[in-house]
Amino acid sequence: MSDIVVNVNGQVRPLDGTAAHTTALDWLRDTGLSGSKEGCAEGECGACAMLLATPTPDGGTAWTPVNACLVPVYALNGQEIVTAEGLGSPDALHPVQEKLAEAGGSQCGYCTPGFACSMAGEYYRSERTPTETTPAQAGTGHGDGIPSHDAEHGPNGFDLHALSGNLCRCTGYRPIRDAAYTLGDPEADDPLQQRLAAPAPVAVPTDAEVDGSRFLRPASLDEALRLLRDEPDALLVAGSTDWGVEVNIRGRRAPLVIAIEQLDELRTLHHTDDVLEIGAALPLSDIEKRLDGAVPLLAQLLPQFASRLIRNRATFGGNLGTGSPIGDSPPALLALGAKLVLASADGEREVELSEYFTGYRQTIRRPDELIRAVRIPLPLAPVTAFHKIAKRRFDDISSVAIAFALDIEDGIVTAAKIGLGGVAATPLRAYAAEEALIGRPWNVATVRAASEILGAEGTPMSDHRASADYRALMLNTALLKLYSSTVISSKEVSA
């Protein structure tokens, strides 16, 4: 226990005697670093955001914002974090803090530390570059030198989605945006910028037991599988974006937690001519960066999956492992015809995702197994779409999620896969609607007939997110929306 430490703002702090279920946020506040706030304890408001040193492909470090309220503090053993206190001081503000103050971006101040940390993560992002001035804007006498940019990116390259997980209850978003858009590049002597050139801390095997509860980080996948074989009731935790909520809101405790999010064997991404394999513990943000649009259906899904703060920790393995019927990834992966690799100490088996879910939060995965990887067969269907119906455009739970993957040759649908979420006790394939499409012309008549069948798929229920009738209506109209988009795309190509 004396060797379990976390580097916080450049200072090594021990975790001696800290309860095994403690979150990073609670531990930070208990140690006197009260800048991080608890707004929701569910990862939705970002008031607790902190920066975590994570590895980059070139062997350096990135400052990655994450929700401190969800991360088990023992998962940070040997790791390095920066909180709002570590960015600057009242006498020497960090550039992010300085710009927030100048723009009036802090009102009650409760959310400000989290905004500052998320903003700092984007400030230090190596790919952030100013947008160029368009020729039409140059030399006009008005707007000379004004860079062109869209509604979600600043002229300095700042991506507003970096703040998508931060909530300001005082509705002060414009000055916060203004502050973000005035940020320049880090100075060469900026300590946090200089830190990026060195490697990130490696994962440290951990075994902590306090008052009968135990937190374990195995050194390898083989060790993790042996532990699962010997301790089948152990709780597997990767990004902890689901379990952290259970701990905070429902007071759940686990006698034994096994952390697997830093196992190299679960963080792979590679492909052959026939299959794309994604490690079950690779964070969604990393998947998004490494695929870089190569799987269009996932490129549509991932920006709508919670917030950047959540995606920096969340994984496909965790989203599928919970067996939730409203997870965003299962419909998309079902439409892609994905298979799961389930690993145990006795070996591996491959199962169809469409056969994985057996009931509400129930799956065919045995207690001694974990999800090692997701396999997506190649080549990909050329016509894909992901429709997420929710009360908010971003950072919300789906009322209904629908994913399509169609092959259309010479105007005929030759293959179709449709994945659904939020309309039954499990995510499911819309087999009846698929059959109504395959072998038929891709036209309004076919789509209308298949839409009626799709609207009757599943067993939607009414809850606080949507009524059963509304969910059925969304299913009924989804295929028509897809058809309309393909017709528009065809006209644009021909034009």
Of the residues 148, 176, 201, the one at which a domain ends: 201
* pLDDT for the residue 271: 94
Residue at 217 is within a domain: no
Give Cα 22 distance to the centre of its chain.
Answer: 22
Give domain status of residue 451, yes or no. yes
Q: Would you say the C-alpha torsion 299, 303, 304, 308 has a positive or negative sign?
A: positive
Q: Are 373 and 325 in a shared domain? A: yes
Tokens of 15: 């975790």
**Residue ranges of the chain whose pLDDT lies below 50:** 1, 133-147
Q: Is residue 216 part of a domain?
A: no
Please report whether residue 152 resides in a domain: yes
CA atoms in the 13 A half-sphere facing the CB of 374: 28
**Side-chain half-sphere exposure of 45, counting CA atoms within 13 A:** 19
State which residues form the domain around 29: 1-201
Residue 386 is assigned to a structural domain of this protein: no
Q: In CATH, what number is assigned to the domain containing residue 423?
A: 3.30.390.50
Q: Do both 28 and 151 map to the same domain? A: yes
Is there a single domain that holds both residue 55 and residue 147? yes
Q: Are 329 and 242 in contact (CB under 8 A)?
A: no
Number of domains in the chain: 3
Q: In terms of DSSP bridges, do strands 80-82 and 5-8 run parallel, antiparallel, or are they unpaired?
A: parallel
Nearest to 227 by CA among 258, 271, 268: 258
End-to-end alpha-carbon separation of the chain, Å? 68
Are 484 and 346 contained in the same domain? no
pLDDT for residue 150 = 78
Exposure pattern of 113-133 as b/e (b: 16+ CB <10 Å)? bbbbbbbbbbbbbeebeeeeb
SS (H, E, C) the chain: CCCCEEEECCEEEECCCCCCCCEHHHHHHHCCCCCCCCCCCCCCCCCCEEEEEEECCCCCEEEEEEECCCCEHHHHCCCEEECHHHHCECCECCHHHHHHHHCCCCCCCCCHHHHHHHHHHHHCCCCCCCCCCCHHHCCCCCCCCCCCCCCCECCCCCEHHHHCCCCCCCCCHHHHHHHHHCCCCCCCCCHHHHHCCCCCCCCCCEEEEECCEEEEECCCHHHHHHHHHHCCCCEEECCCCCHHHHHHHCCCCCCEEEECCCCHHHCCEEECCCEEEEECCCEHHHHHHHHCCCCHHHHHHHHHCCCHHHHCCCEHHHHHHCCCCCCCHHHHHHHCCCEEEEEECCEEEEEEHHHCEEECCEECCCCCCEEEEEEEECCCCCEEEEEEECCCCCCCCCCEEEEEEEEEECCEEEEEEEEEECCCCCCEECHHHHHHHCCCECCHHHHHHHHHHHCCCCCCCCCCCCCHHHHHHHHHHHHHHHHHHHHHHHHHHHC
Q: Say whether both 371 and 411 belong to one domain.
A: no
151 & 19 share domain: yes
* Residue 211 counted as domain residue: no
- Phi and psi at 147, nearest 5°, equal -70, 150
State which of 201, 225, 256 marks the end of a domain.
201
Q: What is the dihedral of CA 29, 309, 47, 150, to 10 degrees?
A: 150
CATH of residue 6's domain is: 3.10.20.30
25 occurs within a structural domain: yes
Residues 6 or more apart from 160 whose CB is under 8 A from it?
152, 153, 154, 177, 180
The whole-number pLDDT of residue 1 equals 47
Asked if the structure places residue 233 within a domain, the reply is: no
Last residue within a domain, chosen from 150, 179, 201: 201
Q: Which of 296, 332, 495, 487 is nearest to 408 (CA)?
A: 487
The residues, ordered by sequence, that sit 6+ positions from 153 with a Cβ below 8 Å of its Cβ are 131, 159, 160
Phi, psi (deg, nearest 5) at residue 168: -110, 110
Are 72 and 157 part of one and the same domain?
yes
User: Could you tell me the pTM of the whole model?
Assistant: 0.94
Give the pLDDT of residue 145: 43
What pLDDT was estimated at residue 410? 96
- Same domain for 122 and 2, yes or no, is yes
Residue 466 has a pLDDT of 94
pLDDT of residue 495: 54
pLDDT, tens only, 171-191: 789 999 999 999 999 999 999
Whether 361 contacts 424, CB under 8 Å: no
Same-domain status, 340 and 410: no
Residues 194 and 93 in one domain: yes
Query: Which residue type sits at 12?
Result: V
- Which region holds residue 427: left if phi is over 0, alpha if psi is between -120 and 50, else beta? beta
Q: Are residues 31 and 126 in the same domain?
A: yes
Q: Are residues 25 and 170 in the same domain?
A: yes
Smallest CA-to-CA distance from 478 within 399, 407, 378, 381 is with 399
Q: Determine the angle formed by the axes of helices 444-454 and 468-494, rounding to 10 degrees.
A: 160
Q: What is the CATH number of the domain that holds 334?
A: 3.30.465.10
